[in-house]
Amino acid sequence: MTPLGQLDLDTITVQDAVSVATVCIGTGRRLNALRREDWAALERAAASLAVREELRAVVIRGRGGVFCSGSDLGEWEGAKPEEVTESFAAMEAALQAVEDLPVPTVAAVERFATGAGCQLALACDLQLVNRSALIGMPIARLGLLVPPTFATRMSLRIGPGRTKDLLYGGRLLAAEEANQLGLITTVVDDGTVDAALAELLTHWDGLSAASLRASKAAVNVGLNPLVQPARHAPQGIASDPDEFDRRLHSFLHRHNPRPE
């Protein structure tokens, strides 16, 4: 694939192979945690791809053999509650832009897809996940408040009961268990994501592009009565006003505790 050019930031770039675009996220450092401006750049990248009539598919993957560990928590240390809420709004705008792509989308997941990284994987139609990867939403540990859209993405795949169980417990799932629950679509052996992705895209290349787009649109029509209420619900605050600062500081400095 040849570079299409960097979009706004080094952390969000698009590589173009005419009919397939690959969105690469992160820098390969800090488990590809994204800051607010990175989510905004991802939204713009997805919006630019949505109007590409020649596209058959979009792939989203992280750099350095890692998918995405979510948002860069360091950005929120000392932030005001409304700033955290605005960051969640930027995340959600990016996720919806990915969901709104009219062509099939695939998340190539290696090592971690956690927090907003989990949401990004679920915003794609399909997930190719390395067997050793972990996926989940451990945000209750920090006192972050799950918006309706985040919960809905999980509930549509695994049902409300299992979604509540995962959100309440904050545990990360191994790829096999996530696949058995229906949270992700495919588990592949470590080191074979590229081969599995190439096989999938080659198969799609032999199919009608119009049919692929119509299939996605048809499924989404049936889901809209469940998806749209969450999209239009008030977002509310994104963090616990009483505990978030303390929990975040403890997490960020867990190897260097605050002196008594």
Q: Is residue 36 part of a domain?
A: yes
Quote the number of domains for the chain.
1
Which domain does 148 fall in, by range?
2-189
Kindly report, residue by residue over 119-167, the tens digit of the pLDDT: 999 999 999 999 999 999 999 899 999 999 999 999 999 999 999 999 9
CATH for 25? 3.90.226.10
Name the band, by pLDDT with cuts 50, 70 and 90, for residue 260.
Answer: very low
Name the band, by pLDDT with cuts 50, 70 and 90, for residue 9.
Answer: low
Q: Is residue 178 part of a domain?
A: yes
Whole-structure pTM value = 0.93
Q: Is residue 229 part of a domain?
A: no
Q: Is residue 82 part of a domain?
A: yes
Name the band, by pLDDT with cuts 50, 70 and 90, for residue 187.
Answer: very high
Q: Is residue 113 part of a domain?
A: yes
Q: Is residue 224 part of a domain?
A: no
Q: Is residue 20 part of a domain?
A: yes
What is the share, in percent, of the chain residues with pLDDT greater than 90? 88
Kindly report, residue by residue over 92-126, the tens digit of the pLDDT: 999 999 999 999 999 999 999 999 999 999 999 99
Q: Is residue 40 part of a domain?
A: yes
Q: Alpha-carbon distance 230 to 234, whole Å?
A: 8
